[in-house]
Chains A and B, each alone.
Chain A
């Protein structure tokens, strides 16, 4: 990887393509991710049936040519529902990444930059990380009320401390670097130093953590929906589908198997891509800092 880092091209996307070719697992992850995202985005056009269309004559049909993933207990097409649900699940995952990144970056930068805020913020972060993720998320959603936006907010709060901790640690290192002191000596203000010198250096850890939070958030959303505290049951998400399908686990396993598979594949692909990104970006970091 060192060879990748030593060339200026390592900053651009070209070397990520190189990494894809060399690391087959990353390539595999990227392809799955693209397929999943494309299916979700294009779902209104490629879904063979309307996801809410009932057909009592076709209840609990196993996978076939008409119904690729079979039908559920109301005769709805599982394949159509899985790709439509993907929209919600991926949107939730992506929004959680945004919310937790914004919160985490703000908290981490403040804690890393201002010694007086470091103690209180670090304690809050530790306290939040001591809770099991899903328990904290359940209590937050219970307090806010179950809806898609509240699930996003709750999960954003749950995952923000992880990022805040990483940002804080890196900020503590970067703020002492000579070029930060040099910038200060030339009259650059603290907010500007944060944005230009610190945040720019943190781009890669944030990107890498983002992929992991994305995966975890999708999994957590599925868990919350499964437990009935997530997105309203009328909106198909992978979690609600698994939840509703579990009554037919023995007689019609495909109802919960396919949304489950969708969760597994998306999370796996995100983790693989995240691993790849980390490998690509880490040597450059260790070299420059």
Chain B
């Protein structure tokens, strides 16, 4: 279990997460493999239903029934140097990991805080839960955390209730909550989706700054390629529960080796590019819709929507092909991309 390179904090290997319901098996995550380097940010990109959130919930072991991890390993290097397989950890051990080693922030800052407690109480609860400190010391740490996430007048804002704060403020509080125990890994599941674009940029700046100050690794789940370009070092593109392409952020934006990634980029608005070019570019949507996870096409799962498809694509599920240094693509025609 120690076959994890020293600089890798998280390595997901062939993860399979299934939802079993009345005999039907929905393979929401099928053979996902990627790793996250210590102190870096990896982004998982994909549209709704691609399995990106299920992957993050699998890592946190927060799947609600009937979801279950059906196979694969989730290797995590704990602070004490041990390598743990999170997929096989007992519920008790897992609870000790959550918050202390791996923390998670969610999409909805408006509803992710309990409306009945002040934000100071909620962050304080997290501190006293994981550390043996008294009330006064906890309060001091809360102020420190609120300062860290750049909430002005932290010493007075900690007595506010969540409804007295704006969405961006609440997401900052959520981040403070997640950072309360200085986790080594932060999983951020679309943390900026519900926010204004300007607030979004501030939150991304904050996360970047916190990463460099605290040296924590971030697993960032998003459907927004603009956000990926801002924050990620490595990118994992998911489609219908599978990794379709994997590369560093520069490589991915420069040369996509999978038609789905190409399609995603072509359908993303880019005002800079559109204005600089002589002709106005139209956004090109990807035709069709994501196939239902219970009725996948026989060969490559993207084949029915793919402009590059050839008959061989229907022959079988393609493996991940190496398409360059640290670049992988699940397309049999990756060479011509």
Bind each other: yes
Residue contact B112 to A186, C-beta cutoff 8 Å:
no
Decide yes or no whether A132 CB sits under 8 A from chain B. no
A186-B126 CB under 8 A given contacts A178-B106, A181-B62, A181-B106: yes
Residue contact A185 to B111, C-beta cutoff 8 Å:
no
Q: How far is the CA of A192 from the CA of B122 in the complex (A)?
A: 13
Q: Which one of B10-18, B96-104, B271-279 is at the A interface?
A: B96-104
Q: Which one of B39-47, B113-121, B284-292, B305-313 is at the A interface?
A: B113-121
Chain B residues closer than 8 Å to A13, beta-carbon distance? none
A179-B104 CB under 8 A given contacts A186-B126, A187-B96, A188-B99: no
Chain A residues closer than 8 Å to B98, beta-carbon distance? 184-187
Decide yes or no whether A130 CB sits under 8 A from chain B. no
Residue contact B116 to A186, C-beta cutoff 8 Å:
no
Q: How far is the CA of A189 from the CA of B125 in the complex (A)?
A: 12
A186-B111 CB under 8 A given contacts A8-B161, A181-B62: no
Question: Nearest Cβ distance between residue A195 and chain B, in whole angstroms?
Answer: 11
Residue contact B108 to A178, C-beta cutoff 8 Å:
yes
Residue contact B111 to A179, C-beta cutoff 8 Å:
yes
Chain A residues closer than 8 Å to B178, beta-carbon distance? 186
Give the contacting residue for B111; candidates A178, A184, A189; CB below 8 A. Answer: A178
* Range for the number of chain A residues in contact with chain B: 20 to 34
* Range for the number of chain B residues in contact with chain A: 20 to 34
Is the contact region of chain A dominated by helix, strand, or loop, or is it mixed? helix
A186-B99 CB under 8 A given contacts A178-B111, A178-B112, A179-B113: yes
Q: How far is the CA of A159 from the CA of B114 in the complex (A)?
A: 30
Q: How far is the CA of A181 from the CA of B105 in the complex (A)?
A: 10
Chain B residues closer than 8 Å to A200, beta-carbon distance? 114, 116-117
Decide yes or no whether A288 CB sits under 8 A from chain B. yes
Residue contact A177 to B111, C-beta cutoff 8 Å:
yes
Q: How far is the CA of A182 from the CA of B123 in the complex (A)?
A: 12
Chain A residues closer than 8 Å to B125, beta-carbon distance? 188, 196
Binary contact track A199-242/B, C-beta < 8 Å → 1, others 0: 01100000000000000000000000000000000000000000
Decide yes or no whether A197 CB sits under 8 A from chain B. yes
Query: Across the two chains, which residue of chain B brings its CB closest to A174?
Result: B114
A188-B62 CB under 8 A given contacts A181-B106, A182-B106: no
26 inter-chain pairs at a CB distance below 8 angstroms, sorted by A residue, are: A115-B65, A178-B106, A178-B108, A179-B111, A179-B114, A181-B62, A182-B104, A182-B105, A182-B113, A182-B174, A182-B177, A184-B62, A185-B103, A185-B104, A186-B98, A186-B178, A187-B95, A187-B97, A187-B98, A187-B129, A188-B99, A188-B125, A197-B114, A200-B117, A201-B116, A288-B115
- List chain B positions with a Cβ less than 8 A from chain A: 60, 62, 65, 95-100, 103-106, 108, 111-117, 125-126, 129-130, 161, 164, 174, 177-178, 180-181
- List chain A positions with a Cβ less than 8 A from chain B: 8, 115, 177-179, 181-189, 192, 196-197, 200-201, 288
